């Protein structure tokens, strides 16, 4: 099971996307604080400091146009239900991002790296 999960995470994180992924700060546990459904995406906010450079240092979007949207959304819902899990968030900056001001759609969540059982 751990091997399959590792392969799935690798596929999600290293998909054929042109973005360069940032690695968030490891949290123990990484928890979903809030999530909001928006027309074409879901905004997700994690622990403070989990996504440096993003909105409030902890939030980004899951875009429904992402090929791995269903898998990522399932992971977010599982984290919310379980109360969190030790791990980090992989994310990319939106190419239209204003570097002087972090807005909630500026970061796109690309995957997670969970540690431990």
DSSP string across 2-35: HHHHHHHHHHHHT-S-SSPPEE---EEEE-EEEE
Helix H, strand E, coil C: the string for 61-80 is EEECCCCCHHHHHHHHHHHH
pLDDT at 96: 74
73: tokens are: 């959304």
Q: Residue 98: its pLDDT value, please?
A: 72
Cβ-contact 103, 55 below 8 angstroms: yes
The low-confidence residues of the chain, meaning pLDDT below 50, are 2-17
pTM over 0.85: no
List, in order of start, the domains of the chain with CATH numbers. Answer: 2-114 (2.40.50)
Helices (H), 50-117: 69-82
């Amino acid at each position: 099971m751990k091997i399959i999960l590792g392969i799935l995470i690798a596929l999600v994180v290293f998909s054929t996307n042109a973005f360069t992924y940032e690695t968030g700060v490891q949290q123990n546990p990484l928890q979903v604080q809030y999530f909001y459904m928006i027309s074409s995406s879901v905004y997700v906010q994690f622990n403070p400091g989990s996504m440096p450079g993003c909105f409030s240092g902890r939030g980004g979007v899951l875009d429904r146009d992402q090929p791995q949207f269903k898998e990522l959304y399932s992971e977010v819902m599982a984290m919310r239900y379980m109360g969190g899990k030790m791990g980090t968030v992989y994310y990319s900056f939106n190419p239209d991002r204003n570097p002087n001001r972090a807005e909630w759609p500026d970061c796109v969540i690309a995957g997670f790296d969970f540690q431990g059982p």
